Amino acid sequence: MRFAILIDQLRFLGGPVKIAIEEVRSLSSLGEDATLVVLKRTDSAAPLESLQGIRTIYLSDSIPRILRFSFRLPLFRFFSLFHLTFAVILRFLPLREGFDAIVAHGTYTCFSAIAIAKKRPTHVISYVWDPITYILGRTYFKPEDHSVARLVAMSLGAILDRWICRNSSKVLVGSRRHKRTLDQLIEDAGKVTLLAPGVQVRDRSETRRGDFVILATAWKRGKDPEYVLDLALQIQKARFIIAGVWLDDSLRRSFMKRLGELSLGDRVEVTGAVSEARLLELYAHALVFLQINSDVGFGLPALEAAAQGCTFIIPEGQGVCDLLSGPGKGYFVREKQTAVIVDILTDFFDNPGSAIKMGELAREQAMGFSWDRHAERLRDMFVPFKSNTPS
């Protein structure tokens, strides 16, 4: 089959982009014709090293330059004008490539995937990492907000979530919570399916570890990196490595200023963006992986760390928690449950052998989630539609 793995932009190697790239690579290794399709070309060169051997096309290259104009919509972090305009333009634009199946990553990217399918009958699998209703409720409104604005926004979000579900052949999510949310919006509950991403699993755990805690994410408002400084002040023997791209330069400057003021530069290292190979080595040699804020949609870094033999302390209630459940692999805590986190980290640094043993159990658990297995499940989802796929 001809698969299009669709993402909106290649700005940084975040979760959905990384997953999409690995899906193309793994589907291709299974003998399928897979292409990474990007809605809008950007000037960023950050993820390009990960594209070696990956066939990539940019739909914006076929759109007249004047119609490529875009900007981030006010009040939103990742929702831009092109998410709306491209969904309209692609209904009328002749496409050079034909695909049997489109796997769209990201809620806003699904708009364009469905538009393409309307023009040229194609089966769409929408990977909804976070429903619009969740994004609005988590990021833009507080739970105690009962304003008319919140009511209108949440109603519109539910309408859009329902539209995506109804116009997709299949909807994938990474957490039980999101599955319950979307199941309530449509009549065909079987359309929404849980599918975890894959990971690269290390052949064996490293027995010699560094004396550091690893944190890795795309750092932006709401990720609260300064919380690490609070922990560092309480645990004198621990070092912290903060890896990942900073999407907000003012946030980075503010953090670095505070880091200097507290004189913690010798125990808190900020790497910035790192290569995939470097990130895996950091996971493999860290004593423990720490996640500050909950990522209900899934929580890929925790599974990546576990696959490298690194135990973890992560917020409960994420999709990844279902995969790593069971005793002895790591700890699930409430967000910023500081006293508990400090106690666990102190124990790990007093008894590093216990962290190493837990990391090995986590690695063994993660062995069931390879990229090839993920790609096989993804391919198999299209089998019921194959006879109806247009040539």
Give 303's Cβ-side CA count (13 Å radius): 27
Phi and psi at residue 40, in whole multiples of 5°? Answer: -130, 125
Report d(CA 127, CA 19) in Å as an integer. 11
Could you tell me the strand order of the sheet in which 101-105 lies? 56-58, 33-40, 2-9, 101-105, 123-127, 170-173, 192-194
Complete DSSP assignment for 302-335: HHHHHHTT--EEEETTSHHHHHS-STTS-EEE-T
Q: What CA–CA distance (Å, rounded) separates 84 from 62?
A: 17
Residue 58: its pLDDT value, please?
Answer: 93
Structure tokens at 67: 């119609």
Average pLDDT of the chain is 90
Instruction: Say how far residue 253 (Cα) sits from the centre of its chain.
Output: 25
8 A C-beta contact, residue 153 and residue 141: yes
Task: List, for the chain, all residue ranges whose pLDDT scores fall below the cut of 50.
Answer: 390-391
Q: What is the CA radius of gyration of the chain?
A: 21
Report pLDDT for 137.
83
CATH class of the domain comprising 212-366: alpha beta
2-198+371-386 maps to CATH 3.90.25.10 = no
Q: Over the stretch 158-180, which tens digit does the pLDDT of each residue have? A: 999 999 999 999 999 999 999 99
3-state secondary structure of 249: helix
CA angle 19, 21, 26 (to 5 degrees): 90
Tell me the per-residue pLDDT of 237-265, one tens digit each, with 9 for 90 and over: 999 999 999 988 999 999 999 999 999 99
Q: One fold for both 2-198+371-386 and 212-366?
A: yes
- At 69-121, the pLDDT tens digits run 988 887 677 789 999 999 999 988 877 778 999 999 999 999 999 999 988 77
Per-residue confidence (pLDDT) for residue 391, from 0 to 100 = 45
Domain ranges of the chain: 2-198+371-386, 212-366
